[in-house]
Amino acid sequence: MRTTAESSEKSSFLPSSSHCWRGVWPISSLAIRRVPACLAGCLDINSSVKGARFVRFCDAFNIPILTFEDVPGFLPGTDQEFGDIIRHCVMGSKHIRTDINFAYPTAEIAVMGPEGAVNIVYRREIAAAQDPETMRRQKVAEFHERFANPFLAAERGFIDAVIMPRETRPKVIRALRMLETKVDTMPRKKHGNIPL
């Protein structure tokens, strides 16, 4: 993929989320990616609002969106929760009508990472164990195997394919070709482009 025109955003403006116009195959699309070097890649309110604005703009004009996610989750803290972070969440899933979803074999598809989830779900078992640290490691491995991998999501239809990184470009091009003539059966004007 090659960048045809970088977005006009300043690099210092909410650097945890990067957006740019891309040329993939013969059509342009919006690429959204998270920047792991900023806030450890976490989503905060500001980056979510920024992403929601771009997504809504593209959706209003039927511009394809490529979303590259490498997000450990939402930025923890009551400030974020009370600020209603989830309202502007920008992630792609079948539940919000994305067309194609791919994942790498190493993807963890979960609301929370295995370590954090195990600390909550198995808190009593771990505390009661003879060797809590061994029990915790065992539960993390079990949780990862059962829930935090892309194969379960693919089995349930949330992921179209689990692909190797080297297959990304041809798979994305093939998906864009397939969707090139897609027509949504929606009202003539889906929605306006309200300021978010």
Reported as a single tens digit per residue, the pLDDT across 35-70 is: 777 777 777 888 778 877 887 887 777 778 777 777
Whether pTM > 0.75 for this model: the answer is no
Q: In terms of DSSP H, where are the helices of the chain?
A: 45-60, 78-82, 114-121, 123-128, 132-146, 150-155, 168-179
Mean pLDDT for 150-165 is 91
Tell me how far the alpha carbon of residue 163 is from its chain's centroid: 16
- The CA distance from 151 to 149, in Å, is 6
Model confidence at 180, pLDDT cuts 50, 70, 90, reads: confident
pLDDT of residue 68: 75
- The CA distance from 111 to 74, in Å, is 9
Reported as a single tens digit per residue, the pLDDT across 90-125 is: 667 787 778 888 999 988 887 777 888 898 899 999
- The CA distance from 51 to 44, in Å, is 11
pLDDT of residue 10: 45
Reported as a single tens digit per residue, the pLDDT across 81-90 is: 788 777 766 6
Taken in order of first residue, the domains within the chain and their CATH numbers are 2-103+160-179 (3.90.226.10)
- The CA distance from 27 to 29, in Å, is 7
